[in-house]
Amino acid sequence: MIPISYSIRNLWTRKLTTVLTAGGMALVVFVFAAVLMLDAGLRQALVSTGQSDNIVVTRRAATSEVQSGIERVQAALVESQPELAVASKESVVLIAQPKRAGGAVSNVTVRGLSPAGIALRPQVRLAAGHMFSPGSTEIVVGRSIAERFAGMGLGERLRFGAREWTVVGIFDAGGSGFDSEIWGDVDQMMQSFRRQAYSSVVAKLADPAAFDELKRRLEADVRLTVDVKRERAFYEEQSAALSTFISVLGLTLSVIFSLGAMIGAAITMYAAVANRTGEIGTLRALGFQQASILAAFLAEALALAVLGWAVGLGFASLMQFVHISTMNWQSFSELAFSFTLTPKIVLQSLGFAAVMGLAGGVLPALRAARLRIVDALRAA
C-alpha cells in the first residue's frame, strides 16, 4: 500500500486548491452542524423543562397547556389520587409584551402556580430578589424574559389581565423552557384573567413505577376526559413541530450546499490526477497495484474532507455562545434557547464530511487507478 503520508504531502504541495476545496466543505459542515446544534438546543431546552418523576394532566386532545381547561372539581379529583406525592393546579395564559430592543411585540407565557408548583421545579433557582408571596400581585420572571422584554426588570411594574403586577424576583431555570415564563400566584392569576378552569395539574409521583396504572385509571374516568403524560414526554411533544421544521429546512440546505462542495472536490481531484499522470505511471511501474492507487487518491479526498470538517465544526462550536429566541409553534409563545454541541453531532458531521469527500473523490480515484502504465509514463 502507498503510505498515507504520500497523500498528505500532495495536499500540502497544492496549498491553494487544498484551502479552497476544504473551505467549501467547511462551509457545508458548518451549516450542517449548526442546524443539528439548533435542533439539539431546542430539544434540550424543552426536555430539560420536565422532571422524570413528574406528570402533567391536561384536557384530552389539548396540544398545550394554553389550550387546555380542567374544571375545579376535576382538578381536585386528580389531586386526590394516592399515587401523587405533591400536586399543583396551574393556570397558563399568553400575554403580548414589547421587547427591549426595537419594541417588537411577542407572546410571553404567564404561569399561575402554588408553592407546591415551585417545589416541583427543582432546577429553578432565584438569581435576584425573592419568590412571589401567595395571594399577592407579585410576580417573578425567567432570566431570558428579564433580559429581552421591556418592563420585566427587578422592581418594575407592568399591567396585564385586570391588574398591575410588581416584579419581585428573577429566576434561572438552567436554560429550560421556564426561563421564558412569568410566574405568579395561581388564584390571583385566575381572578385577573377571569378564568374558571385550571390549565393543568402538575404532580410528582410518590413511586414513578405507578405511572401506568394512574394513567389508565384517570384516562378511563368519564368524569375527567384528560390526558396524562410524563412531564418529559409532554415537553418533547411541545418541541416536535418546530424541531421538524428546523431539521427539514436545515438538512435540505445542507444537501444542496454539499452538492457544490462535492463538485469542487471532484474538480480538485481530477486536476490532481491530470497533473500527476506520470507519477501514477511510475508508481504502477514500481509494482503498486490499481487498488493501491485507488486507496491513495481516496485517502487524499478523505483528508480534504477531514480538514474541512475540523474547520467547519470549529466555527460551528462557537455558536454555543449565541442565544436565540423564536416562537414555539405548539404553544405560540416565545422560547429562548442556545445552540448545543453534543458528541453525537460531532460524529454525524464527521460522517457527513466523509461522505462528501468520498463522493467527490471516488470518480477521480477510479480514473487514476485505471490509467495504463505505458500511457501514464508516455504522458510524463
What's the pLDDT tens digit per position in 56-76? 999 998 888 988 999 999 999
Mean pLDDT over each residue of the chain, to the nearest integer: 84
The answer to whether position 96 is within a domain reads: yes
pLDDT one-digit tens code per residue, 97-132: 998 877 788 889 999 999 999 999 988 999 999 999
Residue range 359-374: mean pLDDT, rounded = 71
Q: Are residues 162 and 256 in the same domain?
A: no
Q: 3-state DSSP call for residue 3?
A: coil
List the domain range (segments joined by +) for residue 171: 61-224
Same domain, 277 and 322: yes
Give 294-356 as a 3 state SS string. Answer: HHHHHHHHHHHHHHHHHHHHHHHHHHHHCEEEEEECCCCEEEEEECCCCHHHHHHHHHHHHHH
Q: 116 and 74 share a domain? A: yes
Q: How far is CA 87 from CA 75, 112, 206, in A?
A: 10, 14, 11
Strand ranges inside 130-268, DSSP E:
138-142, 157-160, 163-172, 181-185, 200-205, 226-230
Cell numbers at 152, concatenated = 420585566
Establish if 230 belongs to a structural domain. Answer: no
Assigned domain for 252 exists: yes
Specify the higher pLDDT residue, 377 or 353: 353
102 and 205 together in one domain: yes
121 and 154 in a single domain? The answer is yes
Same domain, 67 and 212: yes
Number of domains in the chain: 2
Residue finishing a domain among 161, 195, 224: 224
Same domain, 32 and 129: no
229, part of any domain: no
Neighbouring C-alpha atoms within 13 Å toward the C-beta of 129: 22
> Which of 192, 224, 256 corresponds to the end of one domain?
224
Outline where DSSP puts E strands in 144-248. 157-160, 163-172, 181-185, 200-205, 226-230
Is the C-alpha dihedral spanning 50, 56, 61, 66 positive or negative?
negative
Do 134 and 244 have their domain in common?
Answer: no
Q: How far lies 287's CA from each of 5, 369, 380, in Å?
A: 18, 13, 18
Q: What is the pLDDT of residue 283?
A: 60
The three cell numbers of residue 199 are 390549565
**Is residue 56 in a domain?**
no
* Number of other CB atoms surrounding residue 34 within 10 Å: 24
Q: Looking at the predicted structure, is the pLDDT value of residue 29 above 80?
A: yes
Quick check: 293 pLDDT over 90?
no
If asked whether residues 247 and 372 sit together in one domain, one would say yes
Distance CA 273, CA 310 (A): 25
Are 202 and 104 part of one and the same domain? yes
pTM for the complete prediction?
A: 0.75
Whether 8 maps to a domain, the answer reads yes
Give the span between the Cα atoms of 256 and 242, in whole angstroms.
21
- Length reported for the chain: 380
Please report whether residue 73 resides in a domain.
Answer: yes
In whole angstroms, give the CA distance from residue 380 to residue 358.
Answer: 27
Same domain, 144 and 35: no
Q: Position 276: which residue type?
A: R
Of 224, 257, 291, the position where a domain reaches its end is 224
CB atoms within 10 A of CB 144: 24
Q: Are residues 285 and 322 in the same domain?
A: yes
2 touches 293 (CB < 8 A): yes
